[in-house]
Amino acid sequence: MRLTVSLSLWLALATASVLGIHGWFQLQQEESDLDLVARRELSLLATAIRTGVESAVRDGQQPDIEQLLEQLERRDPELDVFVFDKNLALLSSSWGSSPNLPRANAVLRESEPEAIHVQVVEETDFVASTPVRVQGANAGFIVLMRPRAALQTDLSEERQGLVVSMLAVVIALSLTLSLVVHIRLHRPLHQIMHRVRRLAQGEYSEPIVISGKDEIVELAREFDLMSQALEESRRKIVQAAESRDRLQAEMAELNRLALVGQLAASLAHEIGSPLQVLNGRARLLAARQELPSDARRNAEILVEQTDRITDIVERLLSLARRKPLKRHVISLVEPVGQVLELLMPHAERQGVELRWTARDTPPVLANAGLVQQVILNLVQNALHASSRGHRIEVTLQPSTYTPPATSRQENTVCIMVDDEGIGIEPDVLPKVFDPLVSQWREDERRAGTGLGLSVVKSIMTDHGGWVCAAVGPSGRGSRFIVHFPMVDASGRAPTDDD
C-alpha cells in the first residue's frame, strides 16, 4: 500500500474514532437528558390526573373520571391511562388502552406505589404509577403508559446527523492530507525507490536529484554517499565473512576430532589392562557355585558393567569413524531398571532417595548397553549434584518432541531424570552438552571430566533421538530428558536411515 493511501487511511481512521467516541458520549448524554425530561413530564401529568381522579372519587362522580380520560385521549393519543380501585380492579381506562392492561396490572402486582413512581418497562414504555388517596386512605391506583418511540426517533435523527458530519470531516481531511503527502513525500520517495532498484541491479554511480532542504533531500544525499562506499566494501566484506565462517567451522571440527581421538587413546591405554583383569576376576567369582547367591549376583553385575565399560572405550575409539550401531527393538524398562538397581545402594549411602516410575511404554530401536550408559551418566550426575535428604526421580513414559529447526512433532519414549541438587548455572546451561564443560571443576568433591553429557548427546544422536536440559520442575535442581523415537509397525524408527 502506498504511503499516501496509508497515511490518509490512518488519519481517516483516527478522525473517525475521535468523532465516533465524542458522538457516542453525546448520544448517551442526549438519551439521558431526553429520558429525564420524559420522566419528569410523565410525573407531572400523573400528579395532575391524580388530583382530578381524587376529586371525582371524593365526590362520587365516576363520569368525571371518564370525561377526564377522554380529554387526555384527544390531547395525547399515545398516552394510556388506567384507574384501579384499591383491590386492583379496573375502574376506568382511556380508549384503545386494552392491550396494555395486563402490563399495567403486572406493574401494580409487583409493587404497589406509595408515591408517584416512574420506570421503564421492557425497554419500550415509560410507566408512571401513583396511589389515589381520599381523606388519607388509599382508594385506588393510577397507571400511565407512554411509548418510548418518540425518544428513539429523536436519537435516530441525532445519530444520522452525527454520521453525516463525521463522514464529511473525514473525507475533507483525507483529501487534504493525500494532496500534501503526494507532493512532499510520494514524488521524492518514488525517485529514491527508483535509485534503490538501480542499486540492486549493480548501478552505483547514478545520483538522486531532488530539490529542497528538508529531510528527504538529506536522505537522498546520504544515500548517494552510501552507494559509493558500498561499491568499494561489499566484495571485501562478503569474501572476509565467507572465509572466516569456513575457517571457524573447519577448525571447530578438527579440534573436536583431535580431542576425541586423544581422549579415546588415553582411556584405552590407561584402563584397558586393569579392566580386563577386573572382568576376568569377576567372571571367575560368578562361576563359583559355592559362593552365596548375593556374591554371585554382584559378580555378574561386575561382569556386565565391565563389559559395558569395554564397549564404551570401543565406542570412543570408533567415535570419529561413526560406525553403524547394532540396535534391536527393546523395551527400555529392563536396561533402565538394571542401572538403577546398581546405583540404589550408592544413593542410600549418600542419603538420597532414588525413585523411578515406568509407565506403559512401547518398544524402541536401541542398543541396550548404550541406553544403560545414558542413564548411568545422567543419574550419576544427579547424585553428584544432590545432598543428604534430596530426592531423584526417574520417569519412563511415552511422550512427544518437536526437534529444533523443524515443526514436525515426533512420537517418542522419554526418560526424565529430576533432581533437587545444586542445579545448572545459567551461563553453563546452553553449552552443558559440549565436551569438557563442567560447572563442578572448582568443587573437588564433585569434580568430573566434563565428558559424560557430551557422550550422552553423542549416543542419542546415533539413535536418532534428542536430549535436553532445564531447571527442575520445582524451580531448583535440574531436569534432563532423553527422547528415543518410537518404532513403527515394521519395527523401524522413523529417523532410522538403515
Single out the residue of 157, 159, 152 nearest to residue 23, CA to CA. 159
pLDDT given at position 378: 92
Q: Is 468 inside a domain boundary?
A: yes
pLDDT at residue 265 in the model = 67
Sign of the C-alpha dihedral, residues 451, 453, 454, 456? positive
Tell whether the model's pLDDT for residue 209 goes beyond 70: no
User: For a pLDDT cut of 90, what percent of the chain falls above it?
Assistant: 14
Q: Does 170 map to a domain?
A: no
Predicted confidence band of residue 396 (pLDDT cuts 50, 70, 90): very high
What's the CATH code of the domain at 467?
A: 3.30.565.10
Q: What is the DSSP letter of 409?
A: P
With a CB cutoff of 8 Å and minimum separation 6, the contacts of 382 are: 392, 417, 418, 419, 421, 478, 480
The range of the structural domain enclosing residue 145 comes to 15-154
Task: Provide CB contacts within 8 A for 471, sequence distance 6+.
Answer: 423, 424, 477, 478, 479
Whether residue 180 is contained in a domain is answered as no
Q: How far apart are CA 326 and CA 311, in angstroms?
A: 12
Q: What is the DSSP string of 358-395?
A: E-----EEE-HHHHHHHHHHHHHHHHHH--TT-EEEEE
Asked, for residue 113, whether it belongs to a domain, the answer is yes
d(C-alpha 59, C-alpha 66), whole Å: 14
So what's the pLDDT on residue 467? 93
Domain assignment present for 44: yes
- Which of 231-235, 439-443, 455-459 is predicted with the least confidence, judged by mean pLDDT? 439-443
> Is residue 352 located within the same domain as residue 289?
no
What CA–CA distance (Å, rounded) separates 240 from 410?
Answer: 40
Q: What is the pTM of this model?
A: 0.41
What DSSP line would sit under 477-488, residue for residue?
Answer: SEEEEEEEEBP-
Q: Are residues 454 and 390 in the same domain?
A: yes
Give the domain-ending residue among 285, 307, 323.
323
On average, the pLDDT of the chain sits at 80
Q: Are residues 398 and 339 in the same domain?
A: yes
* 237 and 381 both lie in a single domain: no
Tell which of 128, 154, 180 closes a domain. 154
Give domain status of residue 195, yes or no. Answer: no
Residue 137 has pLDDT above 70, yes or no: yes
Q: Are residues 34 and 21 in the same domain?
A: yes
Say whether both 368 and 467 belong to one domain.
Answer: yes
Q: Are residues 447 and 374 in the same domain?
A: yes
The CATH number covering residue 129 comes to 3.30.450.20
pLDDT of residue 390: 93
State the total domains in the chain: 3
Does residue 185 fall inside a structural domain?
no
Q: Which of 302, 323, 344 is the last residue of a domain?
A: 323
**Of 6-15, 335-344, 353-362, 451-460, the least confident:** 6-15
Same domain assignment for residues 340 and 435: yes
Report whether pLDDT(251) > 50: no
Asked, for residue 114, whether it belongs to a domain, the answer is yes
Same-domain pairing of 299 and 318: yes
Q: Which residue has the higher pLDDT, 354 or 455?
A: 354
220 shares a domain with 145: no
Looking at the predicted structure, is the pLDDT value of residue 19 above 80?
A: no
Q: Is the pLDDT of residue 436 over 70?
A: no
pLDDT above 90 (res 273): no
Mean predicted confidence (pLDDT) in 408-412: 88
The grid cell for 371 is 541406553
User: Are 346 and 449 contained in the same domain?
Assistant: yes
pLDDT at 494 over 70: no
CA distance 99 to 101: 6
Q: Tell me the average pLDDT across 360-365.
A: 90
Nine-digit cell at 97? 388502552
Q: Kindly report which listed range (27-36, 80-89, 255-264, 442-451) carries the lowest average pLDDT score.
A: 442-451
| Segment among 33-37, 310-314, 475-479 with least mean pLDDT | 310-314
Q: 260 and 376: one domain?
A: no
